[in-house]
Amino acid sequence: MFKNNLKVAFRSLLKNRVFSLINITGLALGISASLLILQYVNYELSYEDFNEKADQVYRLKTNRYNQGQLSTEWASGVVSIGHILNEAFPEVERYARLTRTGGVLSQGDIEFKEERIYFANQDVFQIFGKKILYGNPETALSELNTIAISESLANKYFGRSDVVGESLMFNREQSVNIAAVFDNAPDNTHFKFDILVSWANQEANDEDGNLNTVWYWDGYFNYIELTKGIDPEEFTAKIDEFIDERWGEEMRNNDTWMDFELQPMRDIHLYSNFIGEAEVNGDGDSVYALLGISFFIILIAWVNYINLATAKSMERAREVGLRKVLGSQKGQLIRQFLTESLMINLCAVALAFGIVVMVLPGFSQLADQPMTLELFTQQGFWLGLIVLFFVGTFLSGMYPAFVLSSYKPIDTLKGGSMSNSGGAWLRKGLVVFQFMASVGLIIGTYTVYEQISYMRNQDLGVNIEQTLVINGPLVLDSTYSEKLTAFNDVLEANANIENVVVSTVVPGREVGWNAGGIRREGAPDSEGKQYRVLGFGYEYVETFDLELVAGRTFSEDFGDEESKILFSRAAVKDFGFESPEAALNQRIFFWGNVYTIIGVLEDYHHNSLKEDYDKLIFRLIPNANNYYSIKYNAANTQQVIQLAEEKWMEFFPGNPFEYFFLDDSFEEQYAADRQFGSVFTIFSGLAILVACLGLFGLAAFMTSKRIKEIGVRKVLGASVPSILRLLSIDFLKLILVAVVLAIPLSYLGMNEWLSGFAFRIDLNWYLFAIPAVLVLLIALATVSFQTARAARANPVDSLRYE
């Protein structure tokens, strides 16, 4: 029987080639899009899966408060908290403590500047689930001047991985011994490191404080592993009580309160974007938004099959009637139509597989994920494909099968009506749902595009154009200040270079210097506040075209400038000054010294427009070595780069020449948003395309129902345009209903998304009107193609049997 069903199904597909092709194409697009999105989502949710202890590991996030108000949230917070909790609570199995450093490593003639270097204690391997390939994990980081390196780094310097016992030079002045080699960091981890330096070296570098007890130093990652079964919320309450009991009185007196949150390690990648993150993290809301799109796309594709199948029901009705007269049972007919659904879905799955193979490299690049053909070796991919196949076969085939198999033979054989009001309402409801989703997706795409454009085109208040930035030198000696001056003088003597200025940070890069306890001279400790501090050399304000709203900036014409500071307008307001002018000449206590405010700078966007204006204090540090910013003539970019590199190697030998363009670097802050917008746009377009196939099916169904009515109207003198209006008005009503329902839902969704931006667009009427009109035009074009054929048909063909 099954063989016979296959034969009949195959003949039916061949007989209705156009409808079969539309069905298969729509389903293939839906399945392929869903598979790609599901793989993207699966990867984003797979972070830390390799770590068997990930469910027990938490990062300690530090929250700092200014006079009772949350001021900063640190991913890399208090240096001692992990050690203190490990000592105080038996629930803490172990802890890892890390802080970033950097340096130039060399081995013979091989020399590289390395960025992913961290001081770390011994338990880091177990906390992060690192496999030690060579060496002893129990003692690898226990001694001074010992390091553990990744397998890739070992091969980079030595050409082999078993290098335990070998040594590397750090910044050309210190030899460090390799005590262990660990496996390379997988892509799906929120924390990647290549070199771990013994914590004993960090303690040796910070002789002024005991790193196990010092309380106010930020910039350190702390992870704890809790005993299995411990409730993190209950343990957080214990931490709060412990902190209050031990330091509460001191913090209340100084009004510098802080508390700690336990961040599950598995959640960090998607739900953490705080000061001092180790890596650029993802966005959980975006991931689940794409998951929603995949659901809508595949659902729309299945709805299309239902609509297209019922659209052909008139032609299949007589077949059903004849089969019933010849003895076919309803169950046999249902199996027959499910077999047809099976064949169509099978063809669609095969086509979808081919589409995925073709577009996978491009999608991998677009999504910035390491997707390769190895995807097809993963059990999850095939499981998803099989589930989509069988669920699609059942859901899309069941309704047409029951509808067609329920026709009465006497009605079908004499040409009676085979429709019912319930089925008509269902089909219309499905189309409304399809275009609600389509309108919502277009509104979302348009809003994302407008927000990104707004952020990219907004006046930043700082000039980042034509700026070449060199990463400062790490290998320094006592003559650094003289070399810096000579380097600047040589570059500025070139006609293509306007200015060279040093700074601790540049626009677009996080201001990591956070200073607390800042208050007016003579004020009690309780009035102290914390601000972000940026240091730079002379002429920084002029170089970046920052606006001076009161006072003056740093100048070599005055003496003792390093005891002076500048405030931003936001810092002036937060500090309590009535105006920028009122802040001038005020003396401020700052980290054991007293500084005088000599100027106030207008607020500018140091970071992306996602964040509010930062409250900044500016110090003069003329020999800063973090960044060198070069303002240059864009017509001679290559000459400037070549000159800068030549002089860099002359004045700062042993320091690799690394540079970037400041405007490009600033734009990188929006890379994730642009990526999300691109992916969102592509799959929204697919959803609309598939929805239009469904509308085409409904148009075919409804015009076939009214074919005799059209014939009569034409005989009575109706024109083709009048018939087109008659047939199109029903579809336009459905689309209008979809638009009316989609707009308020879209408004709520996009308003929630925009709430994550400190500077955002307004949800103006055109953000909803343009997508609505666009969908109406697309739908009208789709319907007109089908209805025009019926309107132009010869009425004799439709009335010959009347």
pLDDT digits (tens, 9 = 90+) for 497-545: 999 999 999 998 888 787 777 888 888 777 778 888 999 999 999 999 9
Q: Which segment of 144-158, 409-423, 458-472 scores lowest on mean pLDDT?
A: 409-423
pLDDT for res 3: 62
254-307 residue pLDDT tens: 667 888 999 999 999 999 988 888 888 888 888 888 888 888 788 887 777 777
Report the range of poorest mean pLDDT among 234-238, 378-382, 588-592, 771-775: 378-382
Average pLDDT taken over every residue of the chain:
82
Q: What is the pLDDT of residue 265?
A: 95
Rounded to whole angstroms, how far apart are CA atoms 276 and 217?
13
The residues, any chain, with a CB within 8 Å of residue 124's CB and separated by 6 or more, are: 96, 98, 130, 141, 196
Say what the pLDDT of residue 334 is.
67
- φ and ψ at residue 240, rounded to 5 degrees: -60, -45
What DSSP designation does 376 have? Answer: G
β-pairing, 146-150 vs 497-503, is: unpaired
**Other CB atoms within 10 Å distance of the CB of residue 151:** 19
pLDDT in tens, 714-761: 777 777 777 777 777 877 888 889 889 999 999 998 898 888 888 889
pLDDT tens, position by position, 45-71? 889 989 999 999 999 999 888 777 888
Which pair of tokens denotes residue 757?
Answer: 């931006």
- The pLDDT of residue 254: 66
**Are the CB atoms for 786 and 703 separated by under 8 Å?**
yes
Q: What is the average per-residue pLDDT within 134-140?
A: 87
Percent of the chain's residues with pLDDT above 90: 33
Cα–Cα distance for residue pair 496/482, rounded to 1 Å: 23
The pLDDT, as a whole number, for residue 4 is: 58
Q: Tell me, letter by letter, the H, E, C secondary structure of 7-55.
A: HHHHHHHHHCHHHHHHHHHHHHHHHHHHHHHHHHHHHHCCCCCCCCCHH
In the predicted structure, residue 562 carries a pLDDT above the cut 70 = yes
Does the pLDDT of residue 699 top 80, yes or no? no
CB 684 within 8 A of CB 445: yes
pLDDT score at 177: 93
**Mean pLDDT lowest among 179-188, 438-447, 517-526, 578-587:** 517-526
**pLDDT-derived band at 252, boundaries 50, 70, 90:** confident
**Average pLDDT of span 790-799:** 62
pLDDT(142) > 90: no
* Per-residue pLDDT at 601: 95
Per-residue pLDDT at 437: 81
Instruction: Provide the pLDDT confidence category of residue 801 given band limits of 50, 70 and 90.
Output: very low
At residue 135, the 3 state secondary structure works out as: strand
Q: How far apart are CA 121 and CA 117, in angstroms?
A: 13
Of 42-46, 74-78, 250-254, 762-766, the least confident: 250-254
User: C-alpha distances in angstroms, 73 versus 39, 76, 218, 350, 507?
Assistant: 32, 9, 11, 50, 20
* Rounded CA separation 156/164 (Å): 15
Mean pLDDT of 180-202: 91
Q: Under the phi-then-psi rule, with left for phi > 0, alpha for psi from -120 to 50, and beta for the rest, what region is 587?
A: beta
Q: For 419-471, write each residue's pLDDT tens digit.
A: 555 556 766 777 788 788 888 888 888 888 888 888 888 889 999 999 999 99
Per-residue tokens: 717:
């003198």
Q: Which residues contact 773 (CB under 8 A, 6 or more apart)?
A: none
Instruction: Find where tokens 């390491």 sit.
Output: 370
Query: What is the amino acid identity at position 355?
Result: I
Lowest mean pLDDT among 527-541, 617-631, 683-697, 734-748: 683-697
Q: What's the rounded Cα separation, in Å, for the pair 742 and 758? A: 26
pLDDT score for 397: 66
Would you state the pLDDT for residue 428? Answer: 75
Quick check: 418 pLDDT over 70?
no
Residue 369 pLDDT exceeds 50: yes
Per-residue pLDDT band for 482 (boundaries 50, 70, 90) equals: very high
Give me the residue label for tokens 């439709």.
798
Largest CA distance in the chain: 109
Strand partners, 534: 618
In this prediction, residue 404 carries a pLDDT of 60
- The whole-number pLDDT of residue 84 equals 92
Please name the residues in contact with 759: beta carbons below 8 A apart, sequence gap of 6 or more: 454, 455, 458, 605, 609, 610, 612
Whole-structure pTM value: 0.82
Residue length of the chain:
802
DSSP β-bridge partners for residue 761: none
Q: pLDDT class for 405, splitting at 50, 70, 90?
A: low
Task: Report the run of H or E that residue 78 belongs to, with start and end.
Answer: none
Please tell me the least confidently modeled range out of 309-318, 503-512, 621-630, 676-685.
309-318
What pLDDT digit, counting tens, does each position of 324-359 carry? 555 556 566 666 667 777 778 788 888 888 888 888
